[in-house]
């Protein structure tokens, strides 16, 4: 009887573990959606309604101040015009910035098959981050 309980508990734990990996497993992780020259560990959380075409980071000047500047290129692979929100979290520095893509327009959308590029500066930050989280989603999701 004890052996049957042990098998039942083990089976329950294995099923629970498999379920949790299936539910939470690689959400937003895995291979990078685009080549990048950033010397950082990057975690990607990118919706399927966008293709990243570019992701660069460089230390430069923005507004006369040293800045860490990210250049992000997006392409709309869907058949619908969409607006995107890009958020970049510098997890080792407790800093974050975001941008709507496109920022303006009538209506402010990226048309199907078109690309848009945005620069996101972290003003006053003259060094690169070692741990970055990139979140790209459609506005409204």
Q: What is the pLDDT of residues 45-90, one digit of tens each?
A: 999 999 999 999 999 999 899 999 999 999 999 999 999 999 999 9
**Residue 119 pLDDT greater than 60, yes or no:** yes
Q: pLDDT tier at 35 (50, 70, 90 boundaries)?
A: confident
Give the span between the Cα atoms of 98 and 87, in whole angstroms: 4
Would you say residue 124 has pLDDT above 50?
A: yes
Of the pLDDT bands very low, low, confident and very high (cuts 50, 70, 90), residue 21 is very low
Interacting residues of 56 by C-beta distance below 8 A, sequence separation 6+ = 36, 37, 38, 70, 71
Cβ atoms of 52 and 74 within 8 Å: the answer is yes
pLDDT confidence tier of residue 131, bands split at 50, 70 and 90: very high
Per-residue confidence (pLDDT) for residue 28, from 0 to 100: 46
Average pLDDT value for the chain: 83
Domain range summary for the chain, segments of one domain joined by +: 1-27, 31-138
- Could you tell me which CATH number the domain at 31-138 has? 2.60.40
Mapped to the 3 state alphabet, what secondary structure does the chain carry? CHHHHHHHHHHHHHHHHHHHHHHHCCCCCCCCCCCCCCCCEEEEEECCCCEEEEEEEEEEEECCEEEEEEEEEEECCCCCCECEEEEEEECCCCEEEEEEECCCCCCCCECCCCEEEEEEEEECCCCCCCEEEEEEEECCC
Mean pLDDT, range 24-43, rounded to an integer: 70
How much is the pLDDT for 14? 39
First CA to last CA across the chain, in angstroms?
Answer: 50
């Amino acid at each position: 009887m004890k052996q049957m309980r042990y098998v039942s508990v083990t089976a329950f734990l294995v099923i629970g573990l498999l379920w949790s990996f299936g539910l939470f497993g690689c959400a937003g992780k895995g291979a990078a959606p685009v080549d990048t020259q950033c010397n950082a560990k990057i975690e990607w959380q990118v919706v399927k309604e966008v293709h990243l075409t570019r992701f660069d980071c460089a230390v430069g000047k923005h507004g006369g101040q040293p800045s860490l500047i990210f250049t992000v290129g997006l392409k709309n692979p869907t058949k619908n015009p969409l607006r995107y929100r890009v958020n970049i979290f510098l997890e080792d520095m407790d800093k974050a910035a975001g941008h709507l893509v496109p920022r303006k327009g009538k209506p402010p959308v990226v048309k199907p098959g078109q690309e848009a590029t945005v620069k996101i500066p972290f003003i006053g930050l003259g060094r690169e981050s070692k741990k970055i989280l990139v979140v790209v989603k459609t506005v409204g999701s």
